[in-house]
Structure 1
Amino acid sequence: MSDDQQFPASTSGGGAAREGFSRRTVLRGSAAAAVLAGTATALPHAHVPSAGAVPRSGRGRGRDVAVFGGGMSGLAAAHELVERGFAVTVYEPAYLGGKARSHDVPGTASGGRLALPGEHGFRFFPSCYQHVPEMMERIPLGRSNVRDQHLISVESATIAFDESGYAPTTAPASLLGLVDHAPEIVTLENLRNAMMTGLKFVVDVPLTELAYFVSRELVIATSCTERRIGQWENQSWMQFVKAKGKSRAYQRYLVGALTRALVAAKPDSASARTIGQIGLALTTAASGLIPQYQSGLVIGDVDRILNRPTNHAWIDPWVAHLRSRGVRFVMGAGLAQLDVARGRITGARLTTGTTVESDWYVAAMPIDRLKPLLSPQLVSADPTLAGIHRLQDDWMVGIQYFLSRRSELPPGHIAALGTPWALTGLYQAPPWKVDFSRKYGDGRVKDCLSIDISEWEKPGILYGKPAKQCTEQEIAREVWAQMSRAMNAGGRKILRSADIVTWSLDPGITWSPTIANATPLMVNTAGSYAHRPNAHTKIPNLFIGGDHVRSNIDLATMEGANESGRRVTNAIIAAADSPAQDATLFPLWELPMLDPLKQIDRDRYRAGLPHILDV
């Protein structure tokens, strides 16, 4: 029987119908003093306070806040505002947690076990994320908190290529990762694969091109802010790294696949500034040279995940905490219209027919939900909001394969570079340290391979169709086929169709009658920064949250959305003339030794000269 013939059907009913101390803990604790001292070293005049609870003072103008949208930005704003004495009501039409939520796969629980855990896509918390982990630390969980209990370091990564001659290779993410998982990493097979793949990569991508690619990241690192915004923002990443005329492997892997795997962006349209800055942040954080990131190739924590389904580990405790602080949640109620008069919001009409009146209004929703609300009256009151219509979104969702055999790979992410649908994955049982068969489903499932699909418009290898033209079953078969071709290229059959018990595609994908996605992701296309809103608007009682808001992280992520919720808070504090302390905003830390080079570039940019390394 062929793999295609024995491929099981989904049980989700999704689209068609629709503890203790570890060495890492000790090291992190011993590094605390260095982190505090390093802040003064890296930025001697910087002060990064922690957000504390501010009681009601009776001063200021207006304390009632209506937050429309219970995703990452809405929950972050609610958290910061309620700590500062504001009365917050969150209105959410569907699910709290937004694109960050997880869900139970319907009809899969039995024998006292939990339902199989489904996700919009597996969670990824690189160490350059600061806002989300800091807020997790402020969510109590017994005598601990969400961050300490559920955010763990990923200790390895598996790289596979969708091309013959490349064998999948597992590498440690840190020195501790190597020590902890040496039996799985330092094997004859893995060392042989690493040598084969490394040699082929050097042959396919000439050393001169590798050096040039690194030099382009150095250009970003030493560019002043003015050049990043004024020049690199208006180029695509593909243009910036000058892929035209380079080798096929340079274009396919260094420029294309790496960009898709790390930031889920299309290099031919994504802003060079955005991709360059986030690439710089990831590599800087991994280097261990910035103490504020509390990470490095020795101590780890460069790549982090949750050790449980997202809702169980994070969203549910968060919502419970916010309720305990007084945040009110109104479910099944979306924002249908904002009424404007004399340049202010006078009321918000809900999809339920109710009108909400508040002192402050926060539109914390993705751009596909925000655009229909931008009435002529709203745009007339703040013409800059018209730019939101020019922002673009794309699809990136997850599919989970529930398997009867536990993975033999060490815990870590999988990047299947060059796969047509830009696949990345994560086995969940090893890092979760859970017996799947005892905890989830009907007892047959021992592991879960969670895969993100980042490309929906390129033809696949089974049906020759892009994902947007496939049925739910075709998507499941196609993703498995692409991942299998990359992962099994070394001769060992890591993925076997016979192991699949069932699978579940993100229920946000529906066919009614044509394919649709309820949770698209904003993409930072070249030149899009000019059209992105600030958290505050020219309408004095309207604020905008979401990963499309201008932020330091500057990428459509949980981190960017969380940061925007903090920016909303600070704007409301200012508008309300509140004595409350501002919510903490973290920069993307960069090496202070580069500041003199940035100043040279600032002088050159103002004189109309190119970057000194832009050759």
Structure 2
Amino acid sequence: MDRSGTSRRTSRRTFIAGAAAAGGTAALSSVGGVAAAAAAPVPGSVAVLGGGVAGLTAAHELAERGFGVTVYERRALGGKARSMDVPGSARGGRRPLPAEHGFRFIPGIYHNLPDTMRRIPFPGNARGVWDNLVAPPEMSLARTGREDLRIPLPWPGHRPAELTLDEIRRALTAMLDTALGIPVHETAYFVNRVLVFLTSCDERRDEVWERTPWWDFIRAERMSHDYQRILAIGMTRNIVATKAEVASTRTVATLLEAFVFNALGRGADGPLDRILDAPTNEAWIDPWVAHLASLGVRFAVGWTVREMAYGDGRITAAVVEDPQGTRRSVTADHYVSALPVEHARRTWGPALRAADPQLARCDELHTDWMTGIQFYLTESAPLLHGHLNCVDSPWSLTAIQQAGHWPDRDFPADYGDGAVVDCLSVDISEWDRPGVLYGKTAKQCTRAEVAKEVWAQLKAALNDTGRTVLKDSALHSWFLDPGVDGLGTPHPTNEDQLLIHPVGTFHNRPSAATAVPNFFLAGDYVSVDIDLATMEGANASARAAVNALLDGTGSAAPRCTVTPLFRAPELEALKRHDRSRHRWGLPNAFDLG
């Protein structure tokens, strides 16, 4: 397969145009909503409320099983996973500069989302949009005032990154600096804590480690600065946008366990780190919408869900607001709420909450800010070929330079005004800590100040050991996620917050099935095997919601496959032994205290 030829680029552009047209047609035809779908000879009509990964997954699975589906989305299909255009940035027949809520990261620990991606057709791809995934060969822990630690990500077929003699010198310096920065006894203690978790039974994980902060579990308070920055904060705030001091050990260590086995090639769908080879909508979302439209799914974009009307033990309607601001009652046989939790729970009235107490418990779930900003460069910065994690940055920045991962894209020829050659996409995970430039938190800064502060923190992490990686003269422009508003005022808002995992969160997660027989939940807050706010969790929860709907209706249609996280069989005997110790009130056999 020629992944860089002109024919492939042409087929991409042709397909993208067709996908946009198909999506637009589906949206226009959806006025009248589920009522039209209900008249068709199908098992029943379903209103899917929310058009992010969870909603599109539910629509996909339901449509394949013959249901009439309409997806109601208030803003744009794809939700937080979508890419978007920078307004007014296109010149000379090029497409607008690509932007996003945050860069996409689809690791090999995911199984359900990749399965869906394989079932989305894409021209020239034998395995659908899944073939649009590429694997960066390395990552970096970017240290402020110290050499950055470059970490290879080996995988069969990976071509090792080519290094200059100076880069080899810097890599060796960083490895030794990191090794010496964390004392041997601290390293040994951390490894022991990992072994404790790996051999802990499910009951101990759910009852003890779920209520133990990661910071306490690894005794970070007593350890060195490097131990705290890399092993405590680096694994929490920078990756899952939660604070090590309060994050559930169950959540953090489950993620660590999955990544360890992924790196060892155990139970993995693919390499540890995978990203898309083009802007998200081009590589994934637009083809998905086009495929769903071909299956008969209807889309009502610009419709906002206001309330789930409840009576006689069932949902009687979804009260929505159309693009003109008129309230309407949408009726269907079944309803799948696929809204983010902070939006979904606003639509559940007292009667509905009383009908199922797990809905009220969702008020105890917490969200925080993790938002992207893109910097457009007129010169490609000499960064690594993969993600970098600025572990010492006050705002917990992570980033990736994108053009090098988009082999079918000639960035200046395809996007913007012809001057931009690359996009440095950055995620800001900490919004409540003062920065280095203004001494203000990100929420206290204006949008322009946020951009300047992030740029300054990036330079502090990358331009700090005798070479200039980021040049002010190469900065063309920037774009901050429009979901953030009111920055620099007393009441900033963020429409796209991220579920975080303080201790006890696991016990407040609802199931996909509710006590209301025609109402189902899908989203990354729903209880599924992957205990993390991820696209994989959103996808798995939607599959669980569809299965619950099929069970409730007595359908003979095949159930969705929901693949759990990998469990190493060689550890099962140790976990059974730990189950006995836990029931007797004893600590894990490896727990040295």
Name the TM-score, length of structure 1 as normaliser.
0.87
Partner of 1:552: 529
Given residue 537 of structure 2, which amino acid in structure 1 is its aligned partner?
G
Query: Is 1:314 aligned to 2:284, yes or no?
Result: yes
* Aligned position for 2:541: 564
User: d(CA) in 2 for partners of 1:229 and 1:323?
Assistant: 41
Q: Note the C-alpha offset of 1:261.
A: 2.8
Matched, 1:91 2:33: no
Matches within 5 A, 1:123-142: 123-142=104-123
> What secondary structure does 1:450 align onto?
strand
Give the C-alpha shift of residue 294 in structure 1: 4.2
Q: Give the corresponding residue for 1:391.
A: 365
Does structure 2 conserve the Cα–Cα contact (< 8 Å) formed by 1:100 and 1:310? Answer: yes
Aligned pairs (5 A) from 1:509-524: 509-511=484-486, 514-524=491-501
Q: Distance in 2 between matches of 1:262 and 1:508?
A: 20
Give the Cα separation in 2 of the matches to 1:146 and 1:429: 22
Render the CA deviation track for 1:63-102: whole Å, top value 9, x for unaligned.
Answer: 1111110011000000011111111111111111011011
SS of 2:206 mapped into structure 1: helix
Structure 1 residue identity aligned to 2:91: S
State the 1:158 CA deviation. Answer: 2.4
Structure 1 match to 2:247 = 270
Task: Determine whether 1:154 maps to 2:124.
Answer: no
In 1: Cα distance, 2:120 partner to 2:436 partner: 45
- Using the TM superposition, give the Cα deviation of residue 248 of structure 1 relative to its aligned residue in structure 2, in angstroms: 2.0
Counterpart amino acid of residue 425 in structure 2: S
Residue 78 of structure 1 is aligned with which of 42, 59, 71?
59
What stretches of structure 2 of length at least 5 have no aligned partner?
A: 5-38
Tell me what 2:318 maps to.
Answer: 348
Q: Counterpart of 2:443 in structure 1: which amino acid?
A: K
SS in 1 for 2:353: helix
One-letter code aligned to 2:365: L
Deviation at 1:171, TM superposition (A): 3.3
Displacement of 1:264: 2.8
Q: 1:305 aligns with which of 260, 264, 275?
A: 275
Shift of 1:610: 1.1
Give the Cα separation in 2 of the matches to 1:142 and 1:160. Answer: 38
Q: 1:373 to 1:447 in 2, by over 3 A?
A: same
Classify 1:548/1:148 alpha carbon distance in 2 versus 1 (closer, same or farther; 3 Å). Answer: closer
In structure 2, the partner of 1:43 is none
In the alignment, the residues of structure 1 paired with residue 309 and residue 401 of structure 2 have an alpha-carbon distance, to the nearest angstrom, of 48
Look up the SS of the partner of 1:398 in the other structure: strand
Question: Residue 412 of structure 2 contacts residue 421 of structure 2 at CA under 8 Å; is this kept in 1?
Answer: yes
Match of 2:165 in 1: 188
| Deviation sequence 1:296-333 (CA, Å, 0-9, x none) | xxxxx221000100011100100110010001111111
Count of residue correspondences:
550
Q: Partners in 2 of 1:311 and 1:481 — Cα distance?
A: 30
Which of 118-127 and 259-268 deviates more?
259-268
Match of 1:65 in 2: 46
Q: Secondary structure at the match of 2:231?
A: helix
Structure 1 stretch displaced more, 143-152 or 527-536: 143-152
* Cα distance in 1 for residues equivalent to 2:219 and 2:469: 36
Q: Partners in 1 of 2:122 and 2:289 — Cα distance?
A: 12
Is the 8 Å Cα contact of residues 378 and 474 (structure 2) preserved in structure 1?
yes
Asked whether the equivalents of residues 122 and 452 of structure 1 are also in contact (C-alpha less than 8 Å), the reply is: yes
What is the alpha-carbon distance in structure 2 between the residues aligned to residue 223 and residue 405 of structure 1?
A: 50
- Tell me if the contact between 2:109 and 2:269 (Cα under 8 Å) persists in the aligned partners: no
After TM superposition, give the deviation of residue 192 of structure 1 in Å: 1.8
For the pair 1:382 / 2:352, whether they are aligned, the reply is: no
Amino acid across the alignment from 2:147: A
Match of 2:413 in 1: 438
8 A Cα contact 1:391 1:532, kept in partner: yes
What's 1:466 paired with?
441
**3-state SS of 1:574 partner:** helix
* Aligned residue in 1 for 2:36: none
Retained in 2: the 8 A contact 1:119–1:506? yes
Alpha-carbon distance between aligned partners in 2 of 1:21 and 1:496, rounded to the nearest angstrom: 32
Distance 1:369 1:524 in 2: 18
The structure-2 alpha-carbon separation of the partners of 1:338 and 1:62, relative to structure 1 and needing over 3 Å to count, comes to farther
Query: What SS class does the counterpart of residue 591 from structure 2 fall into?
Result: coil
Question: Which of 323, 335, 340 lines up with 1:361 in the alignment?
Answer: 335
Distance 2:43 2:312 in 1: 18
Tell me how far 1:203 sits from its aligned partner: 2.5
Do 2:209 and 2:250's aligned partners in 1 also have CA atoms closer than 8 Å?
yes
Q: Deviations over 1:519-560 (max 9, x none)?
A: 001111110111111000111111111100001111001111
Q: Aligned-pair distance for 1:260?
A: 2.5
Where do 1:48-59 residues align within 5 Å?
Answer: none
CA–CA separation in structure 2 for the residues paired with 1:508 and 1:583: 33
- Give the secondary-structure state (helix, strand or coil) at the position aligned to 1:477: helix
SS of aligned partner of 1:80: helix
**1:337 CA drift (Å):** 1.2
CA RMSD of aligned residues (A): 1.9
Would the aligned equivalents of 2:114 and 2:130 in 1 still touch at CA under 8 Å? no
Deviation at 1:152, TM superposition (A): 1.0
- Counterparts of 1:380 and 1:264, CA distance in 2: 32
Superposition deviation, residue 157 in structure 1: 1.3
Distance in 2 (CA, whole Å) between partners of 1:522 and 1:148 is 26
Q: Which amino acid aligns with 1:520?
A: Q
Distance verdict in 2 for CA 1:179–1:330, change over 3 Å:
closer
Question: Structure 1: which amino acid aligns with 2:401?
Answer: Y
Amino acid in structure 2 at the alignment position of 1:154 = P
The Cα shift of 1:436 comes to 1.3
1:591 to 556, 561, 568: 568
The Cα of 1:461 is off from its aligned counterpart by 0.2
The percent of aligned pairs where both chains have the same amino acid is 45
Q: Which residue of 2 is the match for residue 286 of structure 1?
A: 263
- Give the letter aligned to residue 308 of structure 2: L
Residue 476 (structure 2) aligned to one of 496, 501, 508? 501
Equivalent residue letter for 1:271? S
Structure 2 counterpart of 1:370: 344
Listed as ranges, the matches of 1:159-174 within 5 Å are: 159-162=141-144, 164=145, 166-174=146-154
Change (3 A) 1:349 1:178: closer
Equivalent residue for 1:331, pick from 283, 301, 306? 301
Match of 1:120 in 2: 101
**Alpha-carbon shift at residue 500 of structure 1 (Å):** 0.3
Give the corresponding residue for 1:486.
461
Q: Is the 8 A contact 1:362 1:545 kept in 2?
A: yes
Counterpart CA distance in 1 for 2:424 and 2:157 is 21
Deviations for 1:438-485, whole angstroms, at most 9, x for unmatched residues? 111101101110000001011100011110111001100000111111
Aligned to 1:41: none
* Offset of residue 153 of structure 1: 1.1
- Partner SS state of residue 335, structure 1: strand
CA-to-aligned-CA distance 1:95-131 (integer Å, 9 cap, x gap): 1101101100000001011100001011001100111
Displacement of 1:178: 6.9
Correspondence 1:256 to 2:230: no
Looking at structure 1, the residues matched to 129 and 262 of structure 2 have their Cα atoms a distance apart, in angstroms, of 19
C-alpha distance in 2, partners of 1:229/1:500? Answer: 47
Mapped partners of 2:95, 2:565: distance in 1: 39
Aligned match of 1:477: 452
Cα deviation, residue 200, structure 1: 2.2
Return the letter of the residue paired with 1:450. S
8 Å CA contact retained: 2:141, 2:389: yes
* Residue matched to 2:13: none
Contact 2:276 2:283 in 1 (8 A): yes
Counterpart in 2 of 1:26? none
Contact preservation (8 Å) 2:376, 2:476: yes
Cα contact 2:240–2:500 (8 A) shared by 1:
no
